[in-house]
Chain A
Amino acid sequence: MVNEDLNVIAEKEQAARKKIVIRCCMAAGCMSSKSEAVKKNLEQAVNEAELSDGVEVRGVGCMKLCCEGPLVSVDSQNALYEKVTPENALELVQTLKGGNTGIKRGDWNHPFFKKQMSIVLANSGEIDPERIEAYIAVEGYQALLTVLREMTPKQVVEEMVKSGLRGRGGAGFPTGIKWGTVAKTESAQKYVICNADEGDPGAFMDRSVLESDPHSVLEGMAIAAYAVGANQGFIYVRAEYPLAIKRLQTAIKQAKQLGLLGSSIFESPFNFNIDIRIGAGAFVCGEETALMASVEGKRGTPRPRPPFPAESGLWGCPTLINNVETFANVPPIYRKGAEWFASIGTEKSKGTKVFALAGKINNTGLIEVPMGTTLRQIVEEMGGGAPDGREIKAVQTGGPSGGCIPAQHLDTPVDYDSLMKLGSIMGSGGMIVMDDSTRMVDVARYFMEFCVDESCGKCVPCRAGTQQMLHLLEKILNRKATGHDLAKLEELCDMVRHTSLCGLGQTAPNPTLSTLRFFRKEYEELLQPEEFGRYENGEARALK
């Protein structure tokens, strides 16, 4: 495979393009609403209407407005059809011949679409994720080619530092610095791992990226591997994402066939292979060291850091771990340049962020917006507010590690530091909207129960502390707790946060702490008076 071959494939793909493309969403959300049958019927209808010469029915990745799925678009009409059923596929195709249809039409000019800025999701809903040619036709693998031909690994790292990209998995560690550390560590063997163990309940960005544009992740990994000097990569995907796994397997196979993975990529000395590792249902495996243990086929328990994976990771070798969205950002950065990327977003948070918008909100689905977009723009304009005329009460970001941001802070720009200041975190990008019917203590209890279930059990504060915190939250909800219990809960939050071994435990108190911060009244309303002289004034009483 050389440059020319890539161009040949791209040209061929473009030449084969038919006049009209009907895109049918084939991501997991729409597929659960029978989009596969919709696609099949569309194809049949196109054939029966003898339109197949000029019309292509294309299965594509996520078209973002999941709540209205199955989604179908017709580019010649600039139309988006919503809630298409296998039954009205024929009717839809007839519109190409001037027929009418009663199928619900979406509005591309709605802020939900208009306010999006697609870098990571540029190909999502556009190309067929199961064909590498489709990816190549949209400049796919060009970045890898450029990097291998024209840049030294050191330059690749420098470019990444310049871009200002920060890890999209949660904590927002600068990607360039991470790459640089792994690159600098000397070792005959290094690894690159893609963390696709998207465990936050309420997050499905990474699933969508893998289902919609798997090659962008592979290309990103290959560029990272070249930069840090690794020749083996692993993608750790959760077993709950069978479609993403299937599409990744297809993508890896195709890339290998074309020589874009394997030995001497683009006739350079660079070799890189990727294997898939399937998780088995353990949230803690999203934590780097636990994930590595799991890749090694062990119990996914974390270990203390340092040593950091960059120095001693998989099988003791330097290992680079980035998340799916981080890798998907890589090819565009090298195609368009670090300056271009750094011009998007805010001073300290560059680029865009993909969010999974869900919960009590009218438009649920996937959005990608520049960093710095306010929460209000996201939930009110794009999301269309809460359904049934209710008020938005809070937005939960960061899953069980994050917090609930109350409505009065909706004008906060979404970036790593602003969210942190509010006691939440960016997290991987799950955004759950809660309306005024939501009881915040129950939300705290929900997340604490999650942490109790998902604690690996290795360290005492996380294993035993979360159990006690859950017990106290339940006691409060059952109206059996006093102010003394609330004080105990707060003390435990502080302790578990500062003494737990890994991120799971260290952030487990966050949903409780943030609801206590903004919705303390809801807790206090549930408290019982201090009968029986329980520690009045917080002090034990001495005689005299």
Chain B
Amino acid sequence: MDRLKVATVWLGGCAGCHMSFLDLDEFLIELAGKIELVYSPVVDVKEYPENVDVCLIEGAVCNEDNLEILHKIRARTKVLVSFGDCAVTGNVPALRNKLGLHNVENILQRAYVENAQNNPAIPKADGIVPRLLERVTPVHEAVSVEYFLPGCPPPADRIKALMTQVLGGKEPKLEGANLKFG
């Protein structure tokens, strides 16, 4: 049997979920026998490939780049998993939404000018630096998502439980201790 094509992607988030993924330790080896990691921050592939079976998505949808790749991922992937609280709820990246719409400029001002120690300037480079979206959203507000694995980050054992079910072709059910936010 062909190994399943699995991808992971890192949108607006802290990479903590990926760190947790790496905490799978020896299960990673077992996993390696079952899957082919076709795209991920931890592998050096530039273009999201076609015909991916499962993609774990970390992070909220914060900028135009996030949205663009998400559309590509949706079109090329069978099963999407929102991976971690940022992807599931928007979490911390979405806190800026409370400042209201049309606040993107203010946010950049605060981050790159008011808090800057050297060279205060808002980075602008069309086509290189992606523009922020007015509103940060969880992944499922942008594209449909099959499964959700909340947690900030979801610990390795929960990732393992979910992966085992998904890779086994089962619909994962998060129950008891496996369903947890924060």
**Cβ < 8 Å to A, chain B residues 147-182:** 147, 166-167, 169-171
CB pair B166 A534 closer than 8 Å: no
A532 to B80, CA, bound (A): 11
A534: contacting residue among B53, B54, B75, B143, CB under 8 A? B143
CA distance A543 to B79 in the complex (A): 6
Q: Given the interface contacts A533-B143, A534-B143, A535-B144, does A542 sit within 8 Å of B79 by beta carbon? A: yes
Give the CA-CA distance A544 to B79 in the complex, in Å: 10
Q: Is the interface of A mostly helix, strand, loop or mixed?
A: loop
Q: Are the CB atoms of B144 and A532 closer together than 8 Å?
A: yes
Chain B contact residues, majority secondary structure: mixed
Minimum CB distance partner of B147 in chain A = A540
Establish whether residues A532 and B78, one from each chain, have CB atoms under 8 Å apart when the complex forms.
no
- Residues of B near A533 (CB, < 8 A) are 74-75, 143-144
Flag whether B142 is at the interface (Cβ < 8 A): yes
Tell me whether A543 and B74 are in contact (CB under 8 A): no
Contact B143 A542 (CB under 8 A): no
Max chain A Cβ within 10 angstroms of own Cβ: one of B71, B144, B170: B144
Q: Which residue of A lies closest to B74 (CB)?
A: A532
Given contacts A532-B143, A541-B78, 6 further A-B contacts (CB under 8 A): A532-B71, A532-B75, A533-B143, A540-B147, A542-B146, A542-B171
Bound CA span A441–B50, Å: 40
User: Which single member of A531, A535, A540, A542 contacts B170 (CB below 8 Å)?
Assistant: A542
Asked if A540 and B143 make an inter-chain contact with CB atoms under 8 angstroms apart, the answer reads no
Please report A residues at the B interface, Cβ cutoff 8 Å. 484, 531-536, 540-544
Given A541-B78, A542-B170, A534-B144 contact (CB < 8 Å): yes
Q: Which residues of A contact B54 (CB under 8 A)?
A: 543
Residue numbers in A under 8 Å from B70 (CB-CB): 532
Interface 1/0 per residue, B13-24 and A, CB below 8 Å? 000000000000
Report whether B143 and A544 are in contact in the complex, using a CB–CB cutoff of 8 Å. Answer: no
Q: What residues of chain A lie closer than 8 Å to B75, measured between beta carbons?
A: 532-533
Judging by beta carbons under 8 Å apart, are A544 and B169 in contact?
yes
Q: Are B146 and A540 in contact (CB under 8 A)?
A: yes
**What distance in Å separates the Cβ of B131 from its nearest Cβ neighbour in chain A?**
19
Report the separation of the CA atoms of residues A536 and B145 in the bound assembly, to the nearest whole angstrom.
11
**What are 28 A-to-B residue pairs whose CB atoms are below 8 Å?**
A484-B144, A531-B71, A532-B71, A532-B74, A533-B74, A533-B143, A534-B143, A534-B144, A536-B144, A540-B144, A540-B146, A540-B147, A540-B171, A541-B78, A541-B79, A541-B146, A542-B79, A542-B146, A542-B169, A542-B170, A543-B4, A543-B53, A543-B54, A543-B78, A543-B79, A543-B166, A543-B167, A544-B169
Cα separation A536 to B78 with both chains bound (whole Å)? 12
Q: What are the residues of chain A within 8 A of B74 when measuring CB–CB?
A: 532-533
CA A543 – CA B71 in complex, angstroms?
19
In the complex, what residue of chain B is closest to A536 when comparing beta carbons? B144
CB-based nearest A residue for B169: A544
Mark B125-153 against chain A: 1 for CB-CB distance below 8 A, else 0. 00000000000000000111011000000
A484 to B, closest residue via Cβ: B144
Give the residues in chain B near A540, CB-CB below 8 Å: 144, 146-147, 171
The contact string, 1 if C-beta is below 8 Å from chain A, for chain B 97-126, is: 000000000000000000000000000000
Q: Using a Cβ–Cβ cut-off of 8 Å, how many residues does chain B contribute to the interface with A?
A: 19
Interface residues of B (CB under 8 A from A): 4, 53-54, 70-71, 74-75, 78-79, 142-144, 146-147, 166-167, 169-171
**Residue of A533, A534, A544 with highest tally of chain B CB at under 10 A:** A533
Cα of A438 to Cα of B178 in the assembled complex, Å: 51
CA distance A445 to B142 in the complex (A): 24
Residues in A with CB closer than 8 Å to B4 are: 543
User: In the complex, what residues of A have CB within 8 A of residue B171's CB?
Assistant: 540, 542
Distance of A533 Cα from B52 Cα, bound (Å)? 14
In the complex, the chain A residue whose C-beta lies closest to that of B70 is: A532
Bound-state CA distance A543–B147 (Å) is 11
**Complexed CA–CA distance, A134 and B171 (Å):** 78
A542 cross-chain contacts in B, Cβ below 8 A: 79, 146, 169-171
A531 CA to B72 CA, complexed, in Å: 11
Task: List the 9 shortest-distance A-B pairs measured between CB atoms, nearest first.
Answer: A534-B144, A532-B143, A544-B169, A532-B74, A540-B146, A542-B171, A543-B79, A535-B144, A533-B144
What residues of chain A lie closer than 8 Å to B147, measured between beta carbons? 540
Q: Looking at the assembled complex, report how far the CB atom of A539 sits from the nearest CB atom of chain B, in whole angstroms.
A: 10
Query: What's the least CB distance linking B145 to chain A, in Å?
Result: 8
Per the bound structure, the CA–CA distance linking A531 and B75 in Å amounts to 9
Give A482's nearest chain B residue, CB to CB.
B144
Output the least CB separation between B64 and chain A (Å): 15
- A64–B144 Cα distance when bound, in Å, is 56
> Which residues from A are CB-within-8-Å of B166?
543
CB distance from A231 to the nearest CB of B (A): 54
Considering only CB atoms, which chain B residue lies closest to A541 in the complex? Answer: B146
| In the complex, chain B residues whose CB is within 8 Å of the CB of A535 | 144
Q: Return A486 CB to nearest CB of chain B, in Å.
A: 15
Q: How far is the CB of B173 from chain A (nearest CB, A)?
A: 12
A540 to chain B, nearest CB (A): 5
CB contacts (< 8 Å) of A544 on chain B: these are 169
B76–chain A nearest beta-carbon distance, Å? 10
Given known A532-B74, A533-B74, A533-B75, contact A543–B143 (CB-CB < 8 A)? no
Query: Chain A nearest CB: distance from B73 CB in Å?
Result: 9
User: In the complex, what's the smallest C-beta–C-beta distance from B3 to chain A, in angstroms?
Assistant: 13
Shortest CB distance A468–B (Å):
13
Residues of A within 8 A of B143 (CB): 532-534
Given known A541-B78, A543-B53, contact A532–B142 (CB-CB < 8 A): yes
Closest to A540 in B: B146
Report the separation of the CA atoms of residues A533 and B147 in the bound assembly, to the nearest whole angstrom.
Answer: 14
Closest to A539 in B: B146
Closest residue on chain B to residue A530 by CB atoms: B144
